[in-house]
Structure 1
């Protein structure tokens, strides 16, 4: 039995994400939780002829506990979407409390589950989840992931429009974090290889870093990147399931993780990033979650400057999440 849980299942990301997870035949039970409408979403999805049994829960009658109990994989897209003019700092003020409360439920009812955090701002919400789990003695750095897959998906799509390569075959490492200048696409390491001009590199880097703004503006106040984020989240969830359930080896995906997940392998990386505890990099997945955090490799002078600009921003974001719990946030 493989139980997957979506927390925030009735939202703009939650619904398409739940649909994509229902189509994953590794999952035998899919539990949906939200403050409204999750039973209706569950009823709708339950008519699809794939193996997963779908149930929907609301806060009443220990709904969160029922949804989480026995979970193998938990995906958290809960929270408000970004609107025009709203920064990820604005989002933090609202979403931090939501993520804290869900993390508390996870610590109490599913402490061994793999936790995939989508709720923005990821650079801060992942530390919130980690600090809550630590307080409950339930933190395993190999099992908590910030989902940054959308940055890689965008990088593949945007670069292919210039290189001419098929987007599904393009791989661009994207490291750092999951907002603005903390997103560092390593275009020098693109596969298949392509020599971009400096002007193309600058334009592509900016578009990848601020791709979310492009969608928010185009939706004109009606939402943010929900469909592409759902696809990216489902892709990462599928990779976790393939590694931890099916035992597939050699799966590599990007993710924003606590670097204690690979203490020995990250010793050099920590020096390069000024001792940050969290960083997004390519992760090799294994039967217990993080098997290896892959080094950045050789990066260009331009990419070194991007890294220098990202580090202070990441420090601020991480400290904000840690401080939110340390300052006496109700658990």
Structure 2
């Protein structure tokens, strides 16, 4: 069996095969996310796990003619979760309950925190070297929970733990294009901070549209920060942002695998263990990150920002610190 490095030496275009596990594959995010991963040529071994439905999803997408094997796992079978995770390269965690009308990400905490904690524990034991991509909300708190679980198990690698904030970035690209009547595929917005409400900071001053009127800009920022509410209300109690989140998760997973495979200049915003504001007691922060063979290769500073964005950042830090502490307290309580 050739190593990934050796394979790259034979062909600069060859993609290494990756084992990928989705925990929560039967849910509103998990199903479309699994479909998108089945279509990704980097994935050759796709494992789907959920309390129910995973085998059905696996059988369904297994009929798609791409070069990957798909298997579904449930807790009913012996070592179902362990087998889903065994020696996998990338773990995506969209498991948990969806947001409902009037529910904030913090309202989800009591339910989703326990789910994420248990899945993190299983991952630590069965796939200690895997890259872990946390989608389950509230991400500001669930990522610290996963970190504490991994620390307790002695396998914490901050370079391979990610909170997926890609949805904020793709919303920003889409929404700003609607305001400015531009091509959304060409709009790149640096979105930093966290992944809920006022912790989401789109840095409009760093785009070509920094001169937009203040009222237009304020409305745009608010829409990016609370875009999830727009979906929850539109679905009238029938769900939250599942399809767009699945696309965001698949996009970020592809970037992580590209980095692991040694592709150059793979830069994505993500919520990670970051040095940027540790001196202020903020252990995790979302900013652009260069991804590589070891996971996080470089954490980039947020760059020059406007005075208005400085105010947004100050408010975001206050909330982020509380969110992070909440996750740590939950994970470490006896």
2:235 pairs, out of 212, 215, 219, with 219
Q: Which residue of 2 aligns with 1:121?
A: 138
**1:70: Cα distance to partner?**
1.4
Q: Once the 2 structures are TM-superposed, how far is the Cα of residue 275 of structure 1 from its aligned partner?
A: 3.4
Measured after TM superposition, the shift of residue 240 of structure 1 is 0.6
- 1:165-196 Cα offsets, whole Å, 9 max, x none, are 21011100000000001000100112x55521
For 1:306 and 1:4, locate their aligned partners in 2 and report how far apart those are by CA, in whole Å: 36
C-alpha distance in 2, partners of 1:327/1:3?
33
Partner of 1:158: 175
1:54-93 matches, cutoff 5 A: 54-60=70-76, 61-93=78-110
Partner residue in 2 for 1:263:
none
2:252 counterpart of 1:236: yes
Q: Which residue of structure 1 lines up, in the alignment, with residue 3 of structure 2?
A: none
2:12: which partner in 1? none
Equivalent pair of 1:243/1:251 in contact (CA under 8 Å): yes
Q: TM-score, normalising length from structure 2? A: 0.93
In the alignment, the residues of structure 2 paired with residue 2 and residue 280 of structure 1 have an alpha-carbon distance, to the nearest angstrom, of: 26
Extract unaligned runs of 5+ from structure 1.
260-265
Is residue 24 of structure 2 the alignment partner of residue 8 of structure 1?
yes
Mapped pair 1:97 → 2:103 = no
For 1:322 and 1:290, the matched residues in 2 are separated by: 22
Superposed, 1:270-309 pairs within 5 Å as: 270=277, 274-309=280-315
User: Tell me, what secondary structure is at the counterpart of 2:239?
Assistant: coil
Whole-angstrom CA distance in 2 between matches of 1:311 and 1:244:
31
5+ unaligned residues in a row in structure 2: which ranges?
A: 1-16
Aligned residues: 317
> 1:163 touches 1:194 (CA, 8 Å); kept in 2?
no
Query: What is the aligned counterpart of 2:222 among 190, 194, 206?
Result: 206
Q: Corresponding residue for 1:26?
A: 42
Q: For residues 131-210 of structure 1, what are the structure 2 equivalents within 5 Å?
A: 131-190=148-207, 192-193=208-209, 195-210=211-226
The offset of 1:103, in angstroms, is 0.2
1:254 counterpart (263, 269, 272) = 269
Matches of 1:233 and 1:90 in 2, distance apart?
22
Q: SS state of the match for residue 155, structure 1? A: helix
User: Which residue number corresponds to residue 262 of structure 1?
Assistant: none
C-alpha distance in 2 between matches for 1:274 and 1:70: 37
Work out whether residues 164 and 270 of structure 2, in 8 Å CA contact, stay in contact via their aligned partners in 1: yes
SS in 1 for 2:42: coil
- How far apart are 1:326 and its partner, in Å? 1.4
TM, length-normalised to structure 1: 0.94
Cα distance, 1:206 vs structure 2: 0.4
Q: What do you get for the CA RMSD once the two structures are aligned?
A: 1.0
Give the Cα separation in 1 of the matches to 2:249 and 2:219.
26
Partner SS, residue 277 of structure 2 = helix
Query: 1:270 Cα deviation (Å)?
Result: 2.0
Partner of 2:54: 38
Distance in 2 separating the partners of 1:277 and 1:200: 33
Query: Are the aligned partners of 1:141 and 1:257 in contact in 2 as well (CA < 8 Å)?
Result: yes
Aligned to 2:6: none
Kindly provide the CA deviation profile for residues 108-143 of structure 1, in whole angstroms up to 9, marking residues without a partner as x. Answer: 000000000000000000000000000000100000
C-alpha separation in 2, matches of 1:194 and 1:183: 18
